[in-house]
Amino acid sequence: MPSFMKDLSIRRRSRHSFKTAETRTSSGNTSGTEATSDDPPPSKSTSTLGSIFDRQSPPTTLSSQKSRSSSYLPGLNSNGNGNKTPPPVPLGSRPRVPSTQGGRYSLVGMPSQSNESAPRQAPATSPLSPRVTSVSDGSWVHQKVLLISGECADLQRPIDGTMTVYHHQETFPPTHWPVCDSHFKALVYLQPGPNRLRFDFTSPKLSSSNGQMQVHSSWMNINFLPLISSPPLQLCILIARDSPETFDAVPERIRKEGNGLETAIRKFRMAAYLWQAFTAEQMHRNGFGRRCYRYEEEWQPGSLSWKDVESGHMRNEAKIHVIRLKQTLKEVRDLDLAQQYGPANKKGDLFGIASDAVRAYFGPRPGQRQYVSCMFLDAHWDKKVGTVRAHAALGGGDDSIKLAIFGSHCLQSYPSHVEEVVPAFTDCTRTDTDYVANDCNEGGSNWEAANIGIGAHLHETGHLLGCPHQESGVMLRDYVRLNRTFTCREPYSTRTKLQGLRLCEPKDECAWHRLDTLRFRVHPCFQLPTDQPMNPDPSLQVWTVDNGTVLITAATGVAWIELFPEGDDECHHWIEYLDATNPSISPRQITLTEQTIREKLPENKRKRKLKLKVFSCGGGEHEVDDFSRLASKEGKIKLPDGRAGFRSSKLGFSQMDGSQPTQVVLGSCQKPGRLLLSIRVYHGQSLDGMEFFYEDGGSDLFGKRGGSPGGSEFVLDTRRGEMLLGFYLRAGVWVDGVQILTSTGRRSAVFGNAMGGSGHTLIPPRGYSIAGVYGSSGPWVDGFGLIITR
């Protein structure tokens, strides 16, 4: 070829080749062996784990590591002296491949790259290249570790092999994932911003005519936008005051990977990223996009790859808070023993200890709610007693701390790094109960113990995020098959005494229940920067009106209604109103009748007593204990002026000692009508009563004249036609405080405890006005509702 043609071919090499060569040269990586270092990981904790990992190692059957590096990394060439030069390309344009994956190529059978006189042929498209089916090219995600799945080769002729993921600009070591019957699942580490990923598929059953291993490649672009505007889920390890800072493990594990605090932190962090990847994928499958909660992260030595641990490479990864308790090791373990076998008043003591420690550590102020998932490092299998001590599986909390707690008794079976995820979930080493627990007799092997530990802790974290027990899914122990989410093939199960699935498909995997994902969609931890702003009032109200009709109103929109016929402890029937893409356009008011509600139930449940739980798009919740009673004539009264009045659902439990019902019909609905001039509120740290004053000098009292002497008075501007519009209440078991709302938009102060209970806005639905108030009063007001009329 003439010299000028060589120069022209060099100048016209592809932009991708130019960028690749330039990037790799500028990074100082001049060795092909360095570029694709596939050194085996350090020894693993069991022989089974190590042998499995060895089988996952990338193929190295090309003529040499250097030739492999230069032959299938686009844009790199060797001139025989170890220097990289751009390969020549033909003058014709490279054909474009119509694929959503960015590019799928087979890079075997090409001319020798060392022969510069031979023009380089454009690589042929390959039907064997990996095809990601779980996420589309160019998608936006919001978590650091993304779970993907897809297919390699021809599904009509399934084949096993290995898929290697090369991460964006080599910012994370290559990871290797098994391909089973042409299917794969993988965890991909992402950098903030755009990520260009390469997937290589190899199989011993696929080789070229010269005996070299075929490498089939594809590319994908994923955009990672970290979340910083939503509250994080905090991760904590709790240790006793005199803790040895170790967790239960068999001697072989202790010898090979240790059982100290640093190992516990790495394993807990990896489990947390598995929770996040699993939850984001479940939200996507339920039509809510790839949204998920976030973790608080910090710049620290990385642990998501074993190579980071060896090199000390720094990364921004989830922070694990280590909190030392006031209690000693003996106190914690004895407390737990009493909790499991002692009197009922000991129940929940470990949860209280954890709650106090977390509250003292984070110091939340009113309105600064913390979401915290904790692990007791000192959990210990007591073989003599036959129980795990210093362990409790609980989730819940109050308005300031939402908390989940769990023990470390399954921690030895957790993966410490991304590379160990598949080996950990396929490790059949039997659980040695001389050293570690077989939790609930469902963790008879290492992979099953990993399911129980990681999954049951996720179950309790679901509780702290507001999820009750469900009819299926994670909130009903579905986590015993959590492994299927991350692996394509399942080993023998000691729990079922059966050989596992040959191919784990989506229908076989663990899942969040649909109602759990609805809760997550409106949860503040799952909000995205692109979400439309919500009304700050999350409350909703239920109103009885004419003809047995019930109205439900919510400022943020009605999201869904759960139906509980008598005898159902978990929800099996529900009605959805939530707009998945934009909850701000969900209906603000819906109309229900008993007939339409009962038609949603099976025939054998339609005559039972029916309880409803109604949820708003702002996260508010309201319970109707007996829908038939609410919709019946019991909720209807006749007002003094002859009009019909209707009672709304009531706030407060009306269960205080000496609580008595009370009711006031306002003067505007009396005969003769009286003009309301002012309202005096009696209160201390809760609502004691309200007195309504009229223009004729009379008044009506609701509740009692308690609290601060004289109360607090709010005067209406009747000359401007100002009238009572509604109330804003702080209420829980009783009514903590009240704020008066008027037709001109004015608001009083919150009389009582402005931070007590939860907020509820009581304003009649369109076409109705306030006719009075009703409820109950004991030492103070413990029940409050409105009477409305047309």
Beta strand 139-141 pairing with 216-224: parallel
Measure CA 537 to chain center. Answer: 23
> Which of 415, 426, 430, 431 is closest to 381 using CA atoms?
431
For residue 617, give the nearest of 649, 652, 581, 651 by alpha carbon.
581
Residue type, 55: R
| Cβ pair 758, 732 in contact under 8 A | yes
Q: How far apart are CA 481 and CA 459, in angstroms?
A: 13
| Catalytic-residue membership of 460 | yes
End-to-end CA distance of the chain: 94
- Are the beta carbons of 438 and 410 closer than 8 angstroms? no
Measure the CA–CA gap between 649 and 760, rounded to whole angstroms: 12
Q: List, in order, residues 6 or more apart from 23 with CB less than 8 Å away.
A: 169
Contact 276, 295 (CB under 8 A): yes
Handedness of CA 777, 550, 728, 399 (dihedral sign): positive
Contact of 35 with 69, CB cutoff 8 Å = yes
- Would you give the distance in Å from CA 300 to the centre of its chain? 24
Residues 50 and 44 sit within 8 Å (Cβ to Cβ) = yes
In degrees, rounded to 5, the angle at the alpha carbon of residue 642 between the alpha carbons of residues 640 and 647 is 75
Would you state the structure tokens that stand for residue 148, as one six-digit string? 């993907």
Are 691 and 700 spatial neighbours (Cβ–Cβ below 8 Å)? yes
DSSP symbol at 23: H
- Return phi, psi of residue 473, to 5°: 90, -165
Tokens, residue 689: 């009563």
Pick from 300, 226, 228: which is nearest to 266 by CA?
300
Peptide bond into 364 cis (omega under 30): no
Q: Are 554 and 618 in contact (CB under 8 A)?
A: yes
Active-site hit among 460, 509, 562, 691: 460
DSSP string, 379-404: -EEETTTTEEES---EEEE-SSEEEE
CB 177 within 8 A of CB 185: yes
> What residues form DSSP beta bridges with 747?
741
C-beta atoms surrounding 61 within 10 Å = 11
Q: Which long-range contacts (CB under 8 A, 24 or more apart) does 55-59 make?
A: 55/178, 56/162, 56/176, 56/177, 56/178, 56/419, 56/422, 56/423, 57/176, 58/162, 58/164, 58/174, 58/176, 58/202, 59/162, 59/202, 59/204, 59/213
Residues classed as catalytic: 460
